[in-house]
Structure 1
């Protein structure tokens, strides 16, 4: 959608919301009493959260480490998409393997649970496509460790939970524009307010268009979001919302740069090097709708019904490069030895998620306790198709030196080798969670979730049949040591179905993630900041690992079979201080340090030690002036790429790709010109550090060099 059309919509909504009849007729109590997800995090300290229990308790009272990136931090450091947000925390490693496909990990495990307003399903193939625009969201919460009681199936790493923006009672009008390096142009509007005593609305529009430091790569993203809530009375609220997000990229990477020559020496390309064809593209169109109904059954009990609908349509034409002969590898003298690989890939997925629960408090044994009971149903269906060109020669062209490649390779005819899949997944759950007040300062947070995961269909000629169920427990204790300090411990689980089969051709039982955590949470600086210090121990149980080969009882053909074994485990510590650190200083300081056992390769390429600092300082000499710094340090990582072949003098030598330790520094400065107008400047990677984004795959590409942006924000 052209931005001119977005602007017209914004002006129309603005004219409606600024009618004088609304300014003095809002009865705040009629709506605010039952707003269940409208908390604003204007500073850096996390407050109440539902991400771990749906009880709405304080982050300090939750027996798991929780990080929150709120609206203030998003604005301070111009975090326009989710990758930017997560790159500004020590909680999550962002594995940017390609330009438009991203993996996340935490505590040594893949993060595959991303929820929106508390609902979500495990990511297909554990990755996201395109960019998630932050204009739609107020904040991002990250609960670390297993979170199966709230997510059902998933990984024991962490859960990322995004909260959509909701309507406000007070009129709010915000327009911003950003211009930056590589011809970046971003426009955003956010208009919210009450239309009548019982009806509120909000409209968010954004367009983000940019070239890139990478040759041939560019992106263009448009977002439209509208949401209404209606209060039937002081106890009942219904909210409707819908968003359309279109993300188009050209010259996108599929795979990335070969990182070593045949003799094992490391390649060192220019930072802008791109292996994509000039016709490469990846278009992601996403439609999201939701209904959220809340009703106060009594002063102590609430009913909530939620439905989320997601439809995603992806179309891509991709170009990959691979070693023509793995023994020869990339010729260290000529740089030759790569073949191109073209493919058209399309995927459509449909997600429907329902959740219903009651929550409230009750008295027993002379004390007040809290309870949540609910059930949910979710379905994820997807169809994907891959096509190739085997007949013209354009589908697998011989590549020149990467340094000489300009993307000028003939466009293939994508009509060959039709393959793909059609898969249906359903998750049915019932859950119960309670927080018992055992004694003064001592609380037990416990619960369980019955979860059934069913899959049917076929993917790339392999059946995808699963039917697993499991009861997932949750157990946590918090104890108030002093008014400021709370100690906690917890044991949590999650599980994932597995498609591998054993020697008897039975499906391997689900993979279970078991997480133990002990820590303290403490109020600092008169309660303006929260300290979290945690020790954790996570284990994978029942991981399917290759065992042997056995004849398929249907086809008679020998295939790989598997056995159940212990998987990866990780142990470590995390530390975070978030909030107002002094009268003039706000921010977050986070540290992560852990070790991985069970897989040397995963341990080698995973960032296990990192420090992230995001601070903003408001000098007292001039009102409205602020300075900020975001600094992230991560340890050195490496990847074993195999051994040098017999064709070279150093045959048998291990090929190791190293990424030395990295310190990335971003700076910001902003000035409130008046109460309506603000100017901001952001400088990223100011030391111009050259480093690889990830070593999770055998290929990789470089992170952006030094770049800048300037933003003008008008608010009413």
Structure 2
């Protein structure tokens, strides 16, 4: 919602009158003074300054696409921002729910506690906090990550070569953390929803004195699930302390802690077809987890920031981040293909999995303006260092008979199976990776209304270790160019073009025992952006073309050898190509009506399986309206739609009339519609009602893997919030 806050400024002049003679009486003196003051007040000039504060779905600038802090319209790439208002309106309390609302992002929920993300046909692995981060380990996110500590979420689609370098040319997700506010504030909320979903949240900010200010966020959430046996208990604590050491220098220290304890979580998911090739159709509540399954994840992140402004308007910013992730799990997997008549034929598979991961991240840059040839230009130069170490171990049970039990009918199974003794066949990973980078960017004002953004990043990537028997040694250096052009056609509309790259190191060897060169992702984009209604509404349309080059594939000369043998070798080949367009609208259409609309349409070449299971058309729509007839009432809708997808699952085996027929698992196009209503009871007290999947759509959450499970049915929640 966009609000107008008039600020009236009165300029008072103190008139000092020194009498040279005494008045006849004190009463006459007082009356004369009153007349003088009244005359002065009547003649005072009043100046009214009107400011606009946007707290709806319109964000004007982002920091993750470059260090230039440009307006969105000046960035030559597709950019989306999920604002704090959108997160609150639709109770998008975890990153999966939040990214469901982001233009072009597809959330692949393969399990209850493991998720992949894709954009433009490629996995999204670059997740940053305030512009600093490394790609996700193993390319996926584990457990529920809360959004309460973030002010907004920025999504830069395409390759983001300047700020990431390593990764896929899909998108970069940048989480912007909450910081102390100018005024003291305290926000409390309590929610209750379907399946005993109880959430308590506190968010307070205080200015302690002229030097120190702080912010604290605390969350506790417990919930059952529509899935049998699945429960979770999540706690979040976040503290941010900032010290203004001088007018030009500030230092901050922050720490976040997330504890997520899930039980009854699945590892893998439901089988999607029977032995005769026909599709299974389980109840949405069916779960493959054992009653002893559990997945405990603890994530911590400590960040130290130093910022200094020089007298010539240049700025230095240094950031150090230390992140840890610890996981302890006992998991149960179900595999095989059931018989349609008996529902038997599946086998259980127990495992214990433990992970210890540590990240050290350091980033230092300077940015500022220079004047050349009578025009002002912007420059950024920085260095970046990152180190990641992770060890994990998997244990199994091959001795007691409980490690691989025959499974009963999943439709009636209650999760009861003897717990294995996890002590056999230990395997795992011990990997260390380092990245050193130097980057520079210039935004050059070449002539009126035309800017050239040019820069590059030199990345050196080293990794060593072993992961489940596969050597992870790699040593690559790469220069990653960035080129963008922005031309303002009219004050409200710009046209842009950009080219950038990313790379991913490979560990495969060629026929000469040399490590293959990195996979390169090349991203080209053309587009038009508009700022309508005095900047209240941002619009954009973009065409993109992305190519993946030098992907490792088996060398035909050794393709028949088992991949476990050291004799198999690889060659570089073209990988996935994707081309398409995106349309986005975000902001306030008219007073009280906020909207965020995104549509993506693209084609994938180079991998038929990826093209089949990836939605190629995505529509995201979030809108809220302040009902003018009822003061304090806001209503809204959040909707996501995707086209149909499918997956080739092989062929029907012998013994059936349709033996040899291709097995195809299909998910028809579907839309998930969420509704909300909020009533501001008083200035401080508000009540929100949310209804999710109101049409009770039954759908598979993903076909990224050969297994899958169903999304949540219709569910509801109520939130009471209080602000001071």
TM-score tier, shorter chain, comes to over 0.9
Q: Once the 2 structures are TM-superposed, how far is the Cα of residue 131 of structure 1 from its aligned partner?
A: 1.2
Contact 1:91/1:106, CA 8 A, preserved across alignment: yes
Alignment of 1:610 with 2:623, yes or no, is no
Tell me the equivalent position of 2:119: 106
Alignment of 1:354 with 2:368, yes or no, is no
Aligned structure 1 segments of 4 or more residues deviating by more than 3 angstroms: 548-551, 555-559
Separation (CA, whole Å) in 2 of partners of 1:548 and 1:707: 53
Q: Relative to 1, partners in 2 of residues 1:625 and 1:463: Cα closer, same or farther, differing over 3 Å?
A: same
Q: Once the 2 structures are TM-superposed, how far is the Cα of residue 568 of structure 1 from its aligned partner?
A: 0.3
Tell me the equivalent position of 2:3: none
Separation (CA, whole Å) in 2 of partners of 1:580 and 1:550: 59
Once the two structures are superposed, the pairs formed by residues 240-259 of structure 1 within 5 Å of their partners are 240-259=253-272
Once the two structures are superposed, the pairs formed by residues 5-404 of structure 1 within 5 Å of their partners are 42-323=55-336, 329-404=337-412
TM-score, normalised with respect to structure 2 = 0.91
Contact 1:491/1:516, CA 8 A, preserved across alignment: yes
Q: Once the 2 structures are TM-superposed, how far is the Cα of residue 93 of structure 1 from its aligned partner?
A: 0.2
- Determine helix, strand or coil for the equivalent of 1:581: strand
Separation (CA, whole Å) in 2 of partners of 1:77 and 1:355: 34
Tell me the equivalent position of 1:685: 693
Contact 2:269/2:707, CA 8 A, preserved across alignment: yes
Separation (CA, whole Å) in 2 of partners of 1:88 and 1:163: 17
- Determine helix, strand or coil for the equivalent of 1:151: coil
Separation (CA, whole Å) in 2 of partners of 1:275 and 1:146: 37
Tell me the equivalent position of 1:706: 714
Separation (CA, whole Å) in 2 of partners of 1:51 and 1:665: 30
Tell me the equivalent position of 2:497: 489
- Determine helix, strand or coil for the equivalent of 1:481: strand
Q: CA RMSD in A?
A: 1.6
Contact 1:543/1:565, CA 8 A, preserved across alignment: yes
Q: Relative to 1, partners in 2 of residues 1:686 and 1:427: Cα closer, same or farther, differing over 3 Å?
A: same
- Of 134-143 and 296-305, the range deviating more from structure 2: 296-305
- Determine helix, strand or coil for the equivalent of 2:517: coil
Residue among 557, 569, 577 paired with 1:569:
577
Tell me the equivalent position of 1:17: none
Tell me the equivalent position of 1:424: 432
Separation (CA, whole Å) in 2 of partners of 1:471 and 1:145: 18
Give a deviation string over 1:522-550, Cα, whole Å, max 9, x none.
01223201001000000000000122465
Q: Relative to 1, partners in 2 of residues 1:460 and 1:182: Cα closer, same or farther, differing over 3 Å?
A: same
Separation (CA, whole Å) in 2 of partners of 1:557 and 1:107: 34
- Determine helix, strand or coil for the equivalent of 1:185: strand
Once the two structures are superposed, the pairs formed by residues 463-502 of structure 1 within 5 Å of their partners are 463-502=471-510
Give a deviation string over 1:627-658, Cα, whole Å, max 9, x none.
00011111000000011112211011010000
- Determine helix, strand or coil for the equivalent of 1:258: coil
Q: Once the 2 structures are TM-superposed, how far is the Cα of residue 561 of structure 1 from its aligned partner?
A: 1.7
Q: Relative to 1, partners in 2 of residues 1:549 and 1:343: Cα closer, same or farther, differing over 3 Å?
A: farther
Q: Once the 2 structures are TM-superposed, how far is the Cα of residue 169 of structure 1 from its aligned partner?
A: 2.3
- Determine helix, strand or coil for the equivalent of 1:700: coil
Contact 1:169/1:200, CA 8 A, preserved across alignment: no
- Point out where structure 2 has 5 or more consecutive residues left out of the alignment: 1-51
Q: Once the 2 structures are TM-superposed, how far is the Cα of residue 191 of structure 1 from its aligned partner?
A: 0.4
Give a deviation string over 1:129-185, Cα, whole Å, max 9, x none.
001101111110000000021012111000000011111120010000110000000
Give a deviation string over 1:162-218, Cα, whole Å, max 9, x none.
011111120010000110000000000000020001110111000111000000001
Q: Once the 2 structures are TM-superposed, how far is the Cα of residue 397 of structure 1 from its aligned partner?
A: 0.3
Contact 1:45/1:578, CA 8 A, preserved across alignment: yes
Separation (CA, whole Å) in 1 of partners of 2:649 and 2:81: 37
Q: Once the 2 structures are TM-superposed, how far is the Cα of residue 508 of structure 1 from its aligned partner?
A: 0.9
Q: Once the 2 structures are TM-superposed, how far is the Cα of residue 556 of structure 1 from its aligned partner?
A: 12
Contact 1:41/1:139, CA 8 A, preserved across alignment: no
Separation (CA, whole Å) in 2 of partners of 1:152 and 1:492: 10
- Of 295-304 and 439-448, the range deviating more from structure 2: 295-304
Contact 1:295/1:304, CA 8 A, preserved across alignment: yes
Contact 1:221/1:246, CA 8 A, preserved across alignment: yes
Q: Relative to 1, partners in 2 of residues 1:285 and 1:556: Cα closer, same or farther, differing over 3 Å?
A: closer
Give a deviation string over 1:496-518, Cα, whole Å, max 9, x none.
00111112221111000000000
- Determine helix, strand or coil for the equivalent of 2:138: helix
Separation (CA, whole Å) in 2 of partners of 1:582 and 1:275: 49
Separation (CA, whole Å) in 2 of partners of 1:547 and 1:98: 34
Contact 1:41/1:72, CA 8 A, preserved across alignment: no
Tell me the equivalent position of 1:515: 523
Give a deviation string over 1:555-612, Cα, whole Å, max 9, x none.
9955432110000000000000000011121010110000000011100000110111
- What is the number of residues matched between the two proteins? 672
Separation (CA, whole Å) in 1 of partners of 2:205 and 2:490: 41
Tell me the equivalent position of 1:525: 533
Give a deviation string over 1:50-94, Cα, whole Å, max 9, x none.
211110010110000100001000000000000010012232100
Which protein is bigger by CA-based radius of gyration? 2
Separation (CA, whole Å) in 1 of partners of 2:613 and 2:208: 53
- Determine helix, strand or coil for the equivalent of 1:83: helix
Alignment of 1:660 with 2:668, yes or no, is yes
Contact 1:41/1:71, CA 8 A, preserved across alignment: no
- Of 687-696 and 399-408, the range deviating more from structure 2: 399-408
Q: Relative to 1, partners in 2 of residues 1:620 and 1:41: Cα closer, same or farther, differing over 3 Å?
A: closer
- Determine helix, strand or coil for the equivalent of 1:699: coil
- Determine helix, strand or coil for the equivalent of 1:640: strand
Separation (CA, whole Å) in 2 of partners of 1:349 and 1:601: 32
Separation (CA, whole Å) in 1 of partners of 2:682 and 2:557: 72
Alignment of 1:444 with 2:459, yes or no, is no
Tell me the equivalent position of 1:413: 421
Tell me the equivalent position of 2:35: none
Q: Once the 2 structures are TM-superposed, how far is the Cα of residue 346 of structure 1 from its aligned partner?
A: 0.5
Separation (CA, whole Å) in 2 of partners of 1:570 and 1:525: 34
- Of 347-356 and 296-305, the range deviating more from structure 2: 296-305
- Point out where structure 1 has 5 or more consecutive residues left out of the alignment: 1-38, 324-328
Separation (CA, whole Å) in 1 of partners of 2:567 and 2:701: 36
Separation (CA, whole Å) in 1 of partners of 2:306 and 2:554: 47
